[in-house]
Structure 1
């Protein structure tokens, strides 16, 4: 139930009294405008469509959409929307309106989340909360309100001062305000290349895309979202993160951002919060009670207890502890590091060590470079470590983000036993220099970013820097070689996602010098499944192209070259369209794999070539490739390969124009699946079982069971919504919705067309966006919205031609021709369909000929001077081509208008003789408009001939 009274900005809205107050004074606003405000406030953060607003505010009253615009304009003037930076109501183009200002509910809120509730984790895991957070409670509360009110907050302060800790606590506090899953933490400590900043945010927010302009695609994805994104540790990427944050603030009005950085981003919209050091007593001789009244001393004693300190703080030790906190300058991490040694050295022992360490903790973040500040802050802690701890810590700095115990032993160890490395690592964890992260059931470790930078500087000054970087790269090359050997190129990579930052670093190191390229080639090939699984296609394409540029001319890396060619083809097909580069990569891969005898690899490449040729509209070529796939699959013991071969043949015959053969192959594949049980049907980024199911739905309709075909089409779309890769949902919608439109079902179709269009645009699947836009245009034409339908169809054709996505071009041209004739543009309609027919004949796209010829006949009858003779010829040619395909549904769609024409000419018996056998051949006698019309025609009594 909505709260009766809410506040936003300097306004207060009282629903019960239907009163809007500004600074306590009533605001004059019309009744309808007030109703609109209440409706939008109730759905704050969501986009509310114009039709929904009409229904909510003008219940039962028929008004035009312009009424919404008029009253909203009045409401915005009353609110002062847009003045002095105030933003309350935004128009989301093509979708509706959204109330974007933070709202305070005057009734008590629900209790805050329970301690320990985990914030969503992605690119970087949310840091584990301190034990407990000390001295920041008021800051956390204040920042939580500020984030809601101003959207874009930067926490700025010195290294180690606690920015990440505070940001994580604010994010957890706001979980309920953003529906838990919409709070995202992006750890830029795991990103070294500025060009990877958009990809890191993309991965974190759950948008698996890979187009040519990642920033634009990310902004499109975020534009309708309400979420909180934490950008953590931005200082080393400040230029790129500031640009991205500024764009998000401007173009994603419901996204809130919380930034941690050693310097402000200095972009429009940013509110800077300077995080102060923890306070400690200024009196040189405080009592224990006076010292414990300050957060710095509280933090020190809390962490010292965890290190093994027993007993309470005494008045005698209080000044010593205050001096330690003073030397640490109130910086939380420095205090924690000092306290972590108290269990070993005692309070006075730690103070003595610090006094002799010549610490340089006086520098400020905006005066000295980051590495100097880290040195000043961490030198003393480093000097407290044993020699083996120092060595291991420096070498662990080679890792980016998370790493395993095994990785630590391989990269940081010097031949020590696993137990020795584990003991040293555990000691570093105890000293808060290494954090523990649980990912599922696996234990990972991570150096805090500040500690890693300090240790990295130490490592770079040593002779071991180069050898450790090489160990790091070779470890991950060996790890992913083992993964590739065990699972192949298409494994479930979820368990390996934490390695992505280290793989990137290893690849960067490998390709930074000519003498290291061999390692990079191996790793690029073997880690391809990781980037493909995350759908980081642009990055995948980048590494594969680098590796292929170095691998050519070698004779002992055929298998990896083939894998790289496959990866390049797949990633390029989705990011660059159906280009010649894709085809060249597939064909070279096939040449190499055929000589090498790799059956599984050839199957992948043939599947890719089949998909490529299908997408560009070469249906005969795609069928020929399917037959070659089948030959190889028959030599395999894998029942899954056999099923996919049958399904691929079925799809090939379907588009090549043999629906009976297509049905037989599809059903054989499903029988194999039923006998085998679950099988892996994912090849080349496609789920071939879903592809076969949508083919079965289309075939049911074409072969005379339209009701069953439509039911299956709906079920396939529902199933595909949970598919792993975003391509599968789009494919199922794009090729199942036409089944519904063939039947005249325009009610259920539209929702899924819109969802597919949004899905394709969100994930930068540009060919599918073009196809979805074409479907939307066809739907609009079918429902009487001819002009906007024609516009969408024209724009869709531009997209389809640009992406070389020829598979749906003939259908789109047919729909455009029907839209043009509905608009009265007869000559243009006739020219469009004539060109489509000629093109389909020229390139062998037989599948579309029946529908195009039927459309041609209908246009000839509807033009100002109907040409009945030419129309009859077009209808008969349509029936003839449909019969040759075995496409009963196409036959009926042409026979119905031809029968009407024959009746008009007094050829009643001929009309019924034409229509009756086609109708009788349908296994299902209902489910389409054509069947209903056929029944009406057949019930008409033939007239006596003149």
Structure 2
């Protein structure tokens, strides 16, 4: 009898393939793989580097059997999944189009028998575990945690939505813990079980007990002597009969451990829960390379499955964002990702992304061995849906219009709104609705976030798509979308009312979740089926918070709402008035369309007069004043501010009077009345309300920021340079606690100009750099910021691109070469207000530097007028500059140093601080040399 040939083994990557034993090991552990897939692997590995034709492979694996080519592809796909083919550095089986397949990984030959320790456990009495056809990805930490829970808890339930990978996880944990149980592992899939009363019989059969055994007493006796693990898979539809059975068996069998999978907890005594979450995917819009993206398990799974079905699929840097977005769209759900990846060969990657938007629920798998409930995402979700009570189904459907995270109370309010959709919920009380929502979360159809002070919920995108489909089927989608939009409108109006009290941080925490809902509601309202009036009201309400959160995706949102109002059968003049106020503010403060802003504001004032409504008149006049200030029409702004104050007082609203004082403080500063500016700013800062009404222009800016800006500027102009610098830093600190608007206002109107005026170039460069980085990071597209919030202090090479006269005035005070004869003439006419003295002085210096005709007498007249204007405005800083220029002219050009000293010294002596600033040092040098 000839001697047995030694087993020939092949090593490749982390694997060893034993040819004769038909066994595959990965890192020394057996890999569960079907016999036909193993036959294919042996055939390919034995001829590694060669192309093995499809005909040869079919003849090896299916001798004397006629099979379709698709069967070969299915088994090749299973092989690739197990090997992790397509992962970084892992390429094993390659398709040669029209020829066959080739094993391309480097291999080494190993002689000898496989290690007996690695032999698979074979306990036919318990049946063992089903062989997984794919490797588990990205769940190693969860496996370790579950193993620890199972060791100490004895009864652990893996809970999660359908397709999240509960079965895969349970099998991995059971396989890893197999050696811990003397009598092995018993696996029972309860999904096919229609009658829960048969569970004990199925369990006995799985344990190999005699079919003649009767009663639970026999089962208890059998288990009481054994140390084993029972895995109950897919328990959600038989929870009621299963729970008491498990509790009873655990009490009578101290060596028994139970691992269960379910879409909801069993709520049993001694149950430990492990909620299995989504596979990690890159955050939205992450600019990751392919190599970086593959560190995320969701991307790794997609690539592996796509590679298994599309031979030439390779993830590159260009496609990495597409795959990331796909995985996000599929909620990181492994089943959904697998089903989508299996369709790359049909649609292509970009075609698949387009298909998902309309047909995500129709994704169908191509595995014949997959459970029926996993054949498509729709059937997977319908499995859970059919297990719900009528009330729970109705509540789930009613929540489908929520786009993102929502608080419990908002969900309950939408569900219980007065408009009846179907009766089972309409008759429920608030507590019953809240219970139904809690049950949906327990059953993994809602996910919850308990990290904040308010518990929030969210529908997974797949669940939401399914629920919307149910609304369509029931003919209820339009009514529920209208209900959602109406409730969002109520919440936005309530949020605006709460703005003036409490902390901004608390306000954000309570209301920021509304952004997604506002966008969704607006999108619906302006469809042919939506309610345009609700859309217009919502637009008006939303405009009031655009400086806080920016929910508008459409730049013409206000215009769209106004146009919609014109199509309605009834007029809504109050709403039209508010929309015109919003539109005027948008035209001036956002788009710098001053002429259009003036026309729209005039229309708003006409409507306010028709109403004889002082509150509306005040709101319209706020836009008028700020428009005029942006135009640098300071005197006209002052006149309009007087009207604004009168309207605010007539309205009797303390909040409107507060905003009127704030605006008047700003106007007073720009018109040159620094004493009034300081008085009003201090009064506003001492007011108990931290900010004005959200519906008013600039109401989103905290007074701690806006009034400190005015005080810091005024302190510098009045000659208190050190106090101005200190207050500017405090203003920036307050702004950093606020939002982008507050930060840009603080930089552009306070810390940048004050440091430039002080001549502190290092501080100016630091602040300008930080300001520019802020703008570069956030951009200005879609950010509703007043134009004054974006003064380009870094644009010190040209002023031509700066359209706003207010911005030009600022830049000319810092960069004197920008002062033109036209700007000087405007200052000479009295139109330049706060900076008139400096513009006149700088123009005189420019004339002297250019050695223009009659430069000396002209400059002297300019310096003298500048000093006179500054003195009348109590603007000691501008007065010092004018006196210094005049003294230098007198001493150097006219050779009258005594007069120069007599001009400058009295001004210099009025200063009590700021002696290290550039202006005071220059004056001191001039006085010492005189």
Same fold (TM over 0.5): yes
Gaps of 5+ in 2: 1-87, 89-133, 143-160, 210-230, 246-259, 264-334, 347-358, 363-375
1:722 and 1:387, CA in 2 relative to 1: closer, same or farther beyond 3 A?
Answer: closer
CA drift of 1:861 comes to: 2.8
The correspondence for 2:360, drawn from 370, 393, 409, is 370
Partner of 2:560: 546
CA drift of 1:915 comes to: 1.8
1:797 and 1:815, CA in 2 relative to 1: closer, same or farther beyond 3 A?
Answer: farther
CA drift of 1:809 comes to: 0.8
Matched, 1:409 2:409: no
Matched, 1:776 2:764: no
The correspondence for 2:847, drawn from 827, 840, 860, is 860
CA drift of 1:630 comes to: 1.5
Which whole-Å CA distance do the structure 2 matches of 1:534 and 1:584 have between them? Answer: 27
Partner of 2:918: 929
Partner of 2:682: 670
1:669 and 1:641, CA in 2 relative to 1: closer, same or farther beyond 3 A?
Answer: farther
Partner of 1:498: 513
Question: Are the aligned partners of 1:493 and 1:530 in contact in 2 as well (CA < 8 Å)?
Answer: no
Cα deviation code 1:396-415 (max 9, x no counterpart): 33433344223233377233
Question: Are the aligned partners of 1:610 and 1:626 in contact in 2 as well (CA < 8 Å)?
Answer: yes
Which whole-Å CA distance do the structure 2 matches of 1:676 and 1:375 have between them? Answer: 56
Which whole-Å CA distance do the structure 2 matches of 1:532 and 1:292 have between them? Answer: 64
1:710 and 1:556, CA in 2 relative to 1: closer, same or farther beyond 3 A?
Answer: same
CA drift of 1:551 comes to: 1.7
What is the alpha-carbon root mean square deviation over aligned residues? 5.0
Matched, 1:874 2:874: no
Partner of 2:205: 316
The correspondence for 1:394, drawn from 387, 397, 407, is 397
1:438 and 1:882, CA in 2 relative to 1: closer, same or farther beyond 3 A?
Answer: same
Cα deviation code 1:614-636 (max 9, x no counterpart): 22322222222221221123335
Which whole-Å CA distance do the structure 2 matches of 1:670 and 1:447 have between them? Answer: 49
CA drift of 1:745 comes to: 1.7
Partner of 2:831: 844
Question: Are the aligned partners of 2:558 and 2:579 in contact in 1 as well (CA < 8 Å)?
Answer: yes
Q: What TM-score comes out, normalization by structure 2 length?
A: 0.57
Which whole-Å CA distance do the structure 2 matches of 1:474 and 1:600 have between them? Answer: 25
1:427 and 1:534, CA in 2 relative to 1: closer, same or farther beyond 3 A?
Answer: same
CA drift of 1:521 comes to: 2.3
Secondary structure of 1:139's match? coil
1:506 and 1:646, CA in 2 relative to 1: closer, same or farther beyond 3 A?
Answer: closer
Which whole-Å CA distance do the structure 2 matches of 1:888 and 1:502 have between them? Answer: 53
The structure having more radius of gyration, on CA atoms, is: 2
CA drift of 1:531 comes to: 5.3
1:745 and 1:602, CA in 2 relative to 1: closer, same or farther beyond 3 A?
Answer: same
Secondary structure of 1:775's match? coil
Partner of 1:693: 708
The correspondence for 2:875, drawn from 887, 890, 909, is 887
Question: Are the aligned partners of 2:361 and 2:465 in contact in 1 as well (CA < 8 Å)?
Answer: yes
1:482 and 1:668, CA in 2 relative to 1: closer, same or farther beyond 3 A?
Answer: closer
Partner of 2:248: none
Cα deviation code 1:409-460 (max 9, x no counterpart): 3377233333443343343333222333337333333332222222322321
Q: How does 1:121-200 map to 2 (within 5 A)?
A: 139-140=138-139, 160-162=162-164
Cα deviation code 1:793-828 (max 9, x no counterpart): 31x541x22xxx22021343565553xxxxxxxxxx
Matched, 1:457 2:469: yes
Question: Are the aligned partners of 1:760 and 1:769 in contact in 2 as well (CA < 8 Å)?
Answer: no
CA drift of 1:512 comes to: 1.0
Matched, 1:576 2:591: yes
The correspondence for 2:797, drawn from 793, 798, 807, is 793
1:868 and 1:613, CA in 2 relative to 1: closer, same or farther beyond 3 A?
Answer: same
Which whole-Å CA distance do the structure 1 matches of 2:728 and 2:889 have between them? Answer: 32
The correspondence for 2:385, drawn from 373, 379, 382, is 382
Matched, 1:739 2:726: no
Cα deviation code 1:737-769 (max 9, x no counterpart): 323322322222221111112223333348889
Partner of 2:808: 809
Question: Are the aligned partners of 1:398 and 1:456 in contact in 2 as well (CA < 8 Å)?
Answer: yes
Secondary structure of 1:886's match? coil
Which whole-Å CA distance do the structure 2 matches of 1:880 and 1:362 have between them? Answer: 76
1:884 and 1:552, CA in 2 relative to 1: closer, same or farther beyond 3 A?
Answer: farther
Equivalences, count:
623
Which whole-Å CA distance do the structure 2 matches of 1:406 and 1:774 have between them? Answer: 47
The correspondence for 1:910, drawn from 879, 884, 899, is 899
Which whole-Å CA distance do the structure 1 matches of 2:480 and 2:184 have between them? Answer: 44
Question: Are the aligned partners of 1:288 and 1:318 in contact in 2 as well (CA < 8 Å)?
Answer: no
Cα deviation code 1:488-507 (max 9, x no counterpart): 99994642332333333332
Partner of 1:651: 666
Question: Are the aligned partners of 2:827 and 2:839 in contact in 1 as well (CA < 8 Å)?
Answer: no
Which whole-Å CA distance do the structure 2 matches of 1:545 and 1:763 have between them? Answer: 25
CA drift of 1:309 comes to: 13
1:434 and 1:281, CA in 2 relative to 1: closer, same or farther beyond 3 A?
Answer: closer
Cα deviation code 1:880-905 (max 9, x no counterpart): 33334332221221221321222223
1:647 and 1:458, CA in 2 relative to 1: closer, same or farther beyond 3 A?
Answer: closer
Cα deviation code 1:123-155 (max 9, x no counterpart): xxxxxxxxxxxx998624699xxxxxxxxxxxx
Which whole-Å CA distance do the structure 2 matches of 1:871 and 1:527 have between them? Answer: 53
Partner of 1:719: 734
Which whole-Å CA distance do the structure 1 matches of 2:903 and 2:169 have between them? Answer: 90
Which whole-Å CA distance do the structure 2 matches of 1:927 and 1:776 have between them? Answer: 24
The correspondence for 1:446, drawn from 458, 461, 464, is 458
1:596 and 1:759, CA in 2 relative to 1: closer, same or farther beyond 3 A?
Answer: farther
The correspondence for 1:607, drawn from 622, 636, 640, is 622
Matched, 1:343 2:330: no
Secondary structure of 2:630's match? helix
Cα deviation code 1:281-314 (max 9, x no counterpart): 999xx999799879xx69999xx9xx99999995
Matched, 1:534 2:549: yes
1:605 and 1:687, CA in 2 relative to 1: closer, same or farther beyond 3 A?
Answer: farther
Which whole-Å CA distance do the structure 2 matches of 1:721 and 1:456 have between them? Answer: 41
Which whole-Å CA distance do the structure 2 matches of 1:468 and 1:861 have between them? Answer: 74
Secondary structure of 2:511's match? helix
Partner of 1:183: none
Secondary structure of 1:316's match? helix
Secondary structure of 1:445's match? strand
Gaps of 5+ in 1: 1-84, 86-134, 144-158, 166-274, 321-334, 355-359, 778-791, 819-828, 942-946
CA drift of 1:510 comes to: 2.0
1:707 and 1:375, CA in 2 relative to 1: closer, same or farther beyond 3 A?
Answer: closer
Q: What TM-score comes out, normalization by structure 1 length?
A: 0.56
Which whole-Å CA distance do the structure 1 matches of 2:524 and 2:242 have between them? Answer: 43
Which whole-Å CA distance do the structure 2 matches of 1:811 and 1:475 have between them? Answer: 45
Question: Are the aligned partners of 1:716 and 1:732 in contact in 2 as well (CA < 8 Å)?
Answer: no
Cα deviation code 1:81-126 (max 9, x no counterpart): xxxx9xxxxxxxxxxxxxxxxxxxxxxxxxxxxxxxxxxxxxxxxx
1:581 and 1:621, CA in 2 relative to 1: closer, same or farther beyond 3 A?
Answer: same
1:748 and 1:308, CA in 2 relative to 1: closer, same or farther beyond 3 A?
Answer: farther
Partner of 1:224: none
Cα deviation code 1:205-235 (max 9, x no counterpart): xxxxxxxxxxxxxxxxxxxxxxxxxxxxxxx
Question: Are the aligned partners of 1:288 and 1:313 in contact in 2 as well (CA < 8 Å)?
Answer: no
1:739 and 1:421, CA in 2 relative to 1: closer, same or farther beyond 3 A?
Answer: closer
